[in-house]
């Protein structure tokens, strides 16, 4: 049996008619595999971004309409995680900044979002104020996650100090009168 297998392998090795197909396969297969990995990573990222945006919008809607209720930072964070539809480890990886803004003298939030690092303890809340009636509020949510693939598109996404990727969602709303 071993000699038969050995003979077949030696005939296969000496055959030259499929040589061009082998070369095409060697060149094209990694490109097709990289395109597939790129598509999976992009789809996963878009899904996470949609979930974060949806959770943020639903949570801010509840703040706008329930002005008689006093929301805390933890309440809003829990609401975003609940409405986001299952972001991985959302409570530990989500960071919120909410500040009042004067629309006539607009000053934006700092350019770099303040995201949490999963292995480190959560830093103190930066810029948190619920605002008053008729006051414009900016709310930025920053979520840190691990990319599906660490090469290709996963390495190009916004990275944090712990090596994970970050995504940011911003929402503006006005406190309704009570």
126-177: per-residue pLDDT in tens?
A: 555 555 667 788 888 888 888 887 766 666 665 655 567 888 899 888 776 6
> What is the reported pLDDT for 49?
92
pLDDT single digits (tens) 51-97: 999 999 998 888 777 766 777 888 888 889 999 888 888 888 888 88
Query: Is-contact 69 77, C-beta < 8 A?
Result: no
Q: How far apart are the C-alpha atoms of 153 and 37, rounded to whole Å?
A: 8
Domain boundaries, the chain: 19-174
**Residues 140, 172: Cα–Cα separation, whole Å:** 9
pTM of the model: 0.72
Q: Select the more confidently predicted residue: 121 or 28.
A: 28
- Whose tokens are 């929402």? That residue is 171
18: pLDDT strictly greater than 70: no
């Amino acid at each position: 049996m071993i000699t038969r297998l050995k003979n077949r392998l030696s005939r296969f090795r000496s055959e030259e008619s499929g040589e061009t197909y082998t070369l095409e396969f060697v060149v094209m297969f990694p490109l097709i595999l990289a395109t597939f990995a790129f598509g999976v990573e992009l789809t996963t990222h878009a899904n996470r971004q949609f979930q974060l945006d949806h959770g943020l919008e639903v949570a801010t809607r509840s703040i706008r309409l329930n002005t008689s209720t006093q929301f805390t930072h933890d309440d809003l964070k829990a609401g975003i995680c609940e409405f986001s539809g299952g972001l991985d480890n959302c409570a530990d990886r989500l960071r919120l900044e909410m500040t009042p803004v004067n629309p006539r003298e607009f000053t934006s939030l700092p350019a770099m979002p303040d995201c949490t690092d999963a292995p480190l303890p959560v830093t103190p809340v930066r810029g948190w104020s619920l605002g008053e009636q008729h006051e414009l509020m900016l709310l930025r949510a920053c979520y840190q996650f691990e990319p599906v693939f660490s090469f290709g598109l996963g390495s190009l996404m916004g990275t944090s100090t712990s090596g994970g990727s970050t995504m940011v969602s911003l929402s503006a709303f006005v406190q309704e009168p009570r």
